[in-house]
Amino acid sequence: MVVHVYKGHQKASVVSIPRDTLIDRPECTDTDGGEHPAADDVMFNSAYSTGGAACAVKTVESISGLRMDHYLEVDFSGFQKLIDDLGGVDITTTEAIKDPDSHLDLPTGTHTLDGEQALGLVRTRHGVGDGSDLGRIQLQQAFVKALVDQVKDIGLLGNPKKLYDVADTATKTVTTDSDLGSVNSLMSFAGGLKGIGPASMNMVTMPVVYDPADPNRVLLEEAKADQVWKALKNDRPIPESATEGTAAGGAKGVVNPAE
C-alpha cells in the first residue's frame, strides 16, 4: 500500500498495488549490497522476493514516479501481536466469509477479530469475490479503515503510556526505514496522523485490467494509473475517473468497519 498524507495531516489517500500485476522491475541493490538486474514482465511481488524492502521501494518509485519517504513492513506474527495489543478490531460482514485455507469462518454480522482472525481476513482470497488478489485487497482496505477506527475508539494517540507500549511492540515486530526505527520516532510519526479518521481516508486499488493471456495476472492501466500518481504528486484528491471501469475483484461491500 502506498500511503499519501495530504498537507495539514487531516486526510490521506491509500493506493494498493496488486501483487499479481505484471511490471518491469528496475535493477536494484538489496540491503546487504547484493545487486539484482532489471526484469521485464514479472509479478510486482517479485521485487520483494528478489531484493527485499530496498527493491520493493525502488519498484514502487519506478511505477509511480513518486519518492517514498518512509517504509513500514509488518510480518504475520507481528501483525497478530499488534492487533491483540489493540484489543482486537471490530468489523461488520455483509456476507458470510468462509475460507478453510485461512481458517476463517465469519457469518454475516459484526465481529471483534483477534490477531489470528484478523490475519486470516487480510490474507484470504478464496472466500470472497472472484478469488483473486483484487478481492483480498478490498478486504484489506476495509480492515485498515476498521483498524484506524479502533485506534480512535481506544484513544491510542492521546494516551502516551498506551502509545508507548504499542510503539515498543512495533519496534520489535515492524521493519522500518532508519528514520522510523526508534520508539520515539514511531510515536512522533503516529502522532502526526491523529487527525486522520476512516471517513477522511480514500482507499483505491492501482488501476489495472485482467491480462487477456492469463486470468491470474493483471496489467497496469497506464492512463488511469497516471491520473492517480499525478494527483498524489500534486497533493490533490484522486479523481473518481481514475478507477472507473478497472478490474475490482468483485468483493466490494463484503466487509465494512462496524458503525
- CA 6, 62, 147, 256 torsion-angle sign: positive
Note the Cα 6 to chain centre separation in Å. Answer: 17
* Domain segments of the chain as ranges: 2-257
Q: Is 255 left (phi over 0), alpha (psi -120 to 50) or beta?
A: beta
C-alpha span between 112 and 149 (Å, rounded): 13
Task: State the pTM of this model.
Answer: 0.88
Confidence of residue 164 (pLDDT cuts 50, 70, 90): confident
pLDDT band at 77 (very low <50, low <70, confident <90, very high): confident
| Residue 157 identity | L
More confident residue, 253 or 36: 36
pLDDT in tens, 186-209: 888 888 888 888 889 999 999 999
Crossing angle of helices 222-233 and 46-64, in 10° steps, is 70
What type of residue is 176? Answer: T
Helices 76-85, 160-173: axis angle to 10 degrees equals 170
**Residue 127 banded pLDDT, cuts 50, 70, 90:** low
pLDDT the model gives residue 259:
46
The architecture of the domain spanning 2-257 is 3-Layer(aba) Sandwich (3.40)
Q: How many CB atoms lie within 10 A of CB 137?
A: 25
Which residues, 6+ apart, have CB-to-CB distance to 85 below 8 Å? 165, 166, 169
Q: State the Cα–Cα distance between residues 112 and 96, nearest whole angstrom.
A: 15
